Amino acid sequence: MSGIFGYINLISGIIVIVLGLNTVFDFFSMLNYEKRFHLKNKPKGIIGAFLTGSAFGAGWTPCVGPVLAGILFLASNSGSVWRSVTYLVFYSAGLGLPFLLASFFFNAFIKISAKLRSRLPLIRRISGALLIVIGVLIIRGDYKTFNNLAAKWQERLSGGASYIEIESDI
C-alpha cells in the first residue's frame, strides 16, 4: 500500500495497537479518568428521570455517536424508506434491549455482574489482544480483507441478504 492511504493505515494501526497495549497494561491512566457528581438532594420523579437520562445520553454520545452516524448514512443511502426504518429499528433494539432485559431481570443481572467482575482482568487482556491484532491488520492493509470476510459471514447468517464488498483502501 502506498501513498496517503499507506500513511493513514500506518498511523491508524499504530494508534489502535497503542490503545490495545494500554488496555492490557494500563500505562495511560488519564484514559481511565471519570468525574462523578454526588448530590445531597437528588431530584426525584419525572425531573430526576429526565436529568439522569440527559446525563447518561451526554456521557454516551462519544460511544454511540459514530455508530449512529454510520447507521444514518446507511439508511440515507439505502434507497428505500423501509430498509432505512429497518436499519434504525434494529440499531435502536440493539441499543435498548440489553437495558430493558437488565431491568426486567435485575437480580439475575446483579449476580451475573458480580461473577463477571472476577473475570474482568482476563476480559481486559483479551480485548487488548484483539485491538493489537486489528492494529496489525490495519498496518498491513489486510483490514479490508477482514471486513469483507465479516460481511460474507453476515450474509450467510442473515440468509443471503445483499453483500457489498468494501472497496476502500483504509
pTM of the model: 0.59
pLDDT tens figures, 99-156: 899 889 988 888 888 888 999 999 999 999 999 998 998 898 887 777 777 778 777 7
Q: Which of 137, 148, 142, 167 is nearest to 13 (CA)?
A: 137
Boundaries of every domain in the chain: 3-157
pLDDT at 161: 54
Task: Name the DSSP class of 55.
Answer: H
The pLDDT, as a whole number, for residue 1 is 56
Rounded to whole angstroms, what are the CA distances from 95 to 74, 99, 108, 130? Answer: 17, 8, 20, 23
Look up residue 15 and give its three cell numbers. Answer: 494508534
Whether residue 93 is predicted with pLDDT greater than 90 in this model: the reply is yes
Of 80, 102, 88, 93, which Cα lies nearest the Cα of 162? Answer: 80
